[in-house]
């Protein structure tokens, strides 16, 4: 066995010295991931008492920032320099949430057996290089369940005590490829209608984590929990749609989420003729928005909600064709309501709404023979930099519609449009967002009074710049005079 903390760049000797005089246990997901040979990014430590004090002692020794995570529950955190890896220190807890006195009490009160395994840190570090058979402390049979790939609650009331654990059970089963054992399945199903016993913030956070796993929405629907968290998505179950769609709206949504993940895994390259700017897309989606949500997480939410308006807008024509007029606008209004209930920030909500509202626009652009710089300007003028996410969602939407790239040239036309949009966004900001040649002050000097005419003149000039029709201030002023005279 290698050094427990080697991959995180921690000095194990300094860490152990800071913990000296106190028995410290590595617990929870940290030990589970160690057993599964997965990288550990969040180290969880448990102590009998003085967890916050220990966190600050460790932080000082390592020269890293430490802070109080929960004063009442005696939880402290040390943040590593990468801004991602954390060392969390918590006092023993009992199953009822009160402070526990023993490690055994703490472990038996946790959620699932795979997360109820511990290691004495000092003892484990002494055995480095000697054996892989570490002295795990496993009172609930977590090692056996990991070996058998089973998700099992530690005690009969574990999930009922905290409804968030129902979502966590599904996430671990999907993420690790495990099966949920029968009693735990029953406990998850019994949570239907009970999810809001916990805060909206906790529902939101667990839901976001779960959404990253393929098949999560289908599992939530199967267990009856989707109607609690997002009744508008659950309402899509059974809503049919016409060709070229190969699935009903609910299963189409599941498919779009799956394709979105596969597009990301395949580095966004889905055509030999068109290759998207992978690194720039990745950097763009890594941006964080108010609330700490990444662009990737918000894109996934937009994919989840992009068709929720179809349940309300479904119509049937005489020939049997099913239509959903203006469904993107209805979907945008619905997603705003849901995200507010889940306590997302305004910035995150606005961005997802923008993506959902615009998700059909790349498809519309793919119907024309040539996408002009003017059209590209208008696209990003309306969508802002969320136009990148809209373009990517359109690819996943197409794949979800046809079950693959489909026959004919529809995929290639869409890919050509998406590639062009992204090329202009990342390389041609002079078209996407031209630098103004004149401003309102110039119009006042012309003798114009502020009003709607200002916006009309300036927007027309900006579009003309994007189209390459004007390039100088003099040309802009001349165009402004022409528009003003026509408006008289």
Q: How far apart are alpha carbons 168 and 32 in whole angstroms? A: 14
Please, what is the average pLDDT of the chain? 92
Q: What is the CA radius of gyration of the chain?
A: 27
Do residues 150 and 181 lie in contact, with contact meaning Cβ atoms separated by under 8 Å?
yes
What number does CATH give the domain 1-147? Answer: 3.30.460.10
Give yes or no for residue 335 having a pLDDT over 90: yes
Q: Is the overall model pTM greater than 0.85, yes or no?
A: yes
Q: Tell me how far apart the alpha carbons of residues 169 and 171 are, in angstroms, rounded to a whole number.
A: 5
Distance of CA 441 to the CA centre of its chain: 43
3-class secondary-structure state, position 174? helix
CB 173 within 8 A of CB 163: no
Q: Are 382 and 358 in contact (CB under 8 A)?
A: yes
Report how far residue 275's alpha carbon sits from residue 271's, in angstroms, rounded to the nearest whole number.
Answer: 7
Domain spans, the chain: 1-147, 149-229, 247-432, 440-487
At 272, the pLDDT band (50, 70, 90 cuts) reads very low
Confidence of residue 383 (pLDDT cuts 50, 70, 90): very high
- Give the per-residue pLDDT at 128: 58
Beta-strand pair 179-180/150-151? parallel
> Rounded to an integer, what distance in angstroms lies between the CA atom of residue 365 and that of residue 374?
12
Mean pLDDT within 269-281: 69
Judged against a pLDDT cut of 60, whether residue 254 lies above it is answered with: yes
Q: What is the pLDDT of residue 266?
A: 58
Structure token pair of residue 198: 């916990």
Judge whether residue 129 has pLDDT over 60: no
Q: What's domain 149-229's architecture? A: Orthogonal Bundle (1.10)
Residue of 411, 359, 400, 406 whose CA lies nearest to 252 = 400
For range 466-485, the mean pLDDT = 94
What are the Cα distances from residue 282, in Å, to 211, 266, 380?
A: 19, 12, 19
Quote the CA–CA distance of 331 and 310 in Å, as a whole number.
8
Backbone φ, ψ for residue 391 (5° rounding): -60, -45
Model confidence over 217-244: pLDDT tens digits?
999 999 999 999 999 999 999 999 999 9
How far apart are alpha carbons 232 and 258 in whole angstroms? 19
The single-letter DSSP state of residue 74 is: T
Of the listed ranges 158-172, 270-284, 472-486, the one predicted with least confidence: 270-284
For residues 113 and 153, give the distance between their C-alpha atoms in angstroms, rounded to a whole number.
Answer: 6
Confidence of residue 267 (pLDDT cuts 50, 70, 90): very low
What is the C-alpha separation between 442 and 164, in angstroms, rounded? Answer: 58
Q: Which residue has the tokens 């136009």?
A: 387
Mean predicted confidence (pLDDT) in 257-279? 70
The residue-averaged pLDDT of 3-26 equals 82
Instruction: Give 407's contacts (C-beta < 8 A, 6+ positions apart).
Output: none
Question: What is the share, in percent, of the chain residues with pLDDT greater than 70?
Answer: 95
Structure tokens at 37: 């040979």
| CA 82 distance to own-chain centroid | 20
d(CA 299, CA 295): 6
Q: Above 90 in pLDDT, residue 137?
A: yes
Quick check: 391 and 418 in contact, CB under 8 A?
A: yes
| Structure tokens, 272 | 């030999």
What is the average per-residue pLDDT within 144-163? Answer: 96
> Lowest-pLDDT range, 22-31, 272-281, 404-413, 475-484?
272-281
Q: How far is CA 3 from the centre of its chain?
A: 32
Higher pLDDT, 304 or 101: 304
Cis omega (within 30 of 0) for bond into 180: no
DSSP lists the bridge partners of residue 43 as 87
């Amino acid at each position: 066995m290698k050094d427990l903390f080697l991959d995180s760049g921690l000095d194990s000797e300094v860490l152990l010295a800071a913990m000296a005089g106190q028995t410290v246990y590595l617990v929870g997901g940290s030990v589970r991931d160690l057993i599964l040979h997965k990288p550990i990014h969040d180290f969880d430590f448990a102590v009998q008492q003085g967890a916050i004090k220990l966190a600050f002692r460790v932080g000082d020794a390592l020269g890293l920032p430490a802070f109080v995570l929960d004063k009442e529950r005696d939880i402290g955190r040390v943040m590593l320099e990468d801004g991602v890896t954390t060392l969390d220190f918590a006092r023993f807890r009992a199953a009822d949430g009160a402070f526990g006195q023993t490690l055994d009490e703490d472990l038996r009160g946790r959620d699932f057996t795979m997360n109820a395994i511990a290691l004495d840190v000092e003892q484990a570090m002494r055995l480095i290089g000697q054996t892989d058979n570490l002295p795990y402390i496993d009172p609930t049979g977590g090692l056996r369940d990991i070996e058998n790939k089973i998700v099992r609650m530690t005690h009969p009331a574990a999930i009922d005590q905290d409804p968030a654990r129902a979502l966590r059970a599904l996430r671990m089963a999907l993420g690790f490829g495990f099966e949920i054992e029968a009693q735990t399945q029953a406990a998850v199903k019994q949570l239907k209608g009970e999810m809001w016993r916990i805060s909206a913030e906790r529902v939101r956070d667990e839901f976001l984590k779960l959404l990253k796993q393929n098949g999560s929405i289908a599992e939530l629907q199967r267990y009856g929990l989707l109607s609690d968290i997002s009744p508008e998505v659950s309402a899509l179950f059974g809503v049919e749609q016409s060709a070229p769609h190969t699935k009903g709206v609910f299963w189409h949504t599941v498919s779009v989420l799956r394709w979105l993940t596969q597009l990301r895994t395949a580095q966004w390259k889905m055509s030999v003729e068109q290759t998207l700017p992978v690194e720039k897309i990745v950097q763009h989606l890594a941006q964080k928005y108010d609330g700490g949500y990444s662009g990737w997480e918000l894109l996934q939410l937009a994919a989840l909600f992009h068709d929720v308006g179809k349940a309300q807008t479904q119509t049937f024509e005489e020939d049997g064709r099913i239509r959903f007029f203006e469904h993107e606008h209805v979907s945008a209004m619905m997603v705003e309501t849901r995200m507010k209930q889940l306590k997302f920030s305004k910035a995150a909500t606005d961005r997802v709404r923008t993506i959902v509202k615009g998700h059909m626009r790349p498809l519309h652009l793919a119907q024309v023979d040539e996408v002009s710089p003017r059209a590209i300007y208008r696209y990003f003028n309306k969508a802002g930099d969320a136009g990148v996410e809209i373009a990517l969602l359109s690819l996943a939407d197409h794949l979800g519609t046809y079950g693959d790239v489909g026959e004919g040239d529809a995929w290639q036309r869409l890919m050509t449009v998406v590639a062009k949009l992204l090329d202009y966004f990342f390389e041609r900001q002079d078209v996407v967002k031209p630098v103004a040649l004149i401003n309102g002050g110039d119009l006042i000097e012309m003798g114009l009074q502020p009003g709607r005419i200002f916006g009309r003149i300036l927007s027309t000039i900006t579009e003309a710049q994007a189209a390459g029709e004007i390039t100088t201030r003099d040309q802009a002023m001349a165009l402004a005079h022409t528009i003003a005279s026509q408006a008289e």
